[in-house]
């Protein structure tokens, strides 16, 4: 009888260890991300982690440096498709300050982040979502 218990307990223990390892890994990546409060409104409509399912707006993962309105997986409004350039920090700052003024006719319903200090926090966070750029900065 003890032999049967061993057969049942061993696979269960292995499954438990694997599950706990997965939870610990997920928790450590969440903790490492440290999403600022100023960004929480953005996360209501925008995915921001790799492989995260799309939400109402385009993903913000690796947005800094990306060509404006360029994700194939998102259908941008005509107002934003007319804007040329890339999402660098000054461009994102102007956009976040007043999205409708930046790209008239844009579908984004948010009025933006009017407070400059909060916008700077959001921009700092967006820059962390470009791991390759951080690695390049660390090399120099």
Domain ranges of the chain: 1-33, 35-139
> What pLDDT digit, counting tens, does each position of 17-32 carry?
443 343 344 443 444 6
Q: How big is the CA angle at 49 (ends 139 and 51), to the nearest 5 degrees? A: 110
Asked if 30 contacts 43 with a C-beta cutoff of 8 angstroms, the reply is no
CB neighbourhood size of 90 (10 A): 9
| Burial class for 11, CB neighbours closer than 10 Å (0-12, 13-18, 19+) | exposed
Q: 35-139 adopts what CATH topology?
A: Cytochrome Bc1 Complex; Chain D, domain 2 (1.10.760)
Q: Is residue 12 predicted with pLDDT exceeding 70?
A: no
Asked if 67 contacts 74 with a C-beta cutoff of 8 angstroms, the reply is no
Beta bridge partners of 86: 67
pTM of the predicted protein model: 0.72
In angstroms, rounded to a whole number, what is the distance separating the alpha carbons of residues 8 and 137? Answer: 51
pLDDT of residue 4: 54
């Amino acid at each position: 009888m003890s032999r049967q218990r061993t057969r049942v307990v061993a696979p269960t223990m292995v499954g438990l260890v694997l599950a706990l390892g997965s939870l610990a890994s997920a928790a450590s990546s969440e903790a490492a991300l440290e999403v600022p409060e100023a960004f929480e409104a953005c996360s209501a409509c925008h995915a921001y982690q790799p492989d995260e399912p799309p939400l109402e707006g385009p993903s913000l993962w690796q947005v800094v440096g990306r060509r404006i309105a360029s994700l194939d997986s998102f259908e941008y409004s005509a107002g934003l498709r007319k804007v040329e350039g890339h999402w660098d920090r000054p461009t994102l700052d102007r956009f976040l300050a007043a999205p409708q003024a930046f790209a008239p006719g844009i579908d984004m319903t948010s009025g933006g982040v009017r407070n400059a200090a909060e916008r700077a926090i959001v921009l700092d966070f967006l820059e962390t979502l470009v791991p390759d750029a951080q690695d390049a900065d660390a090399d120099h």
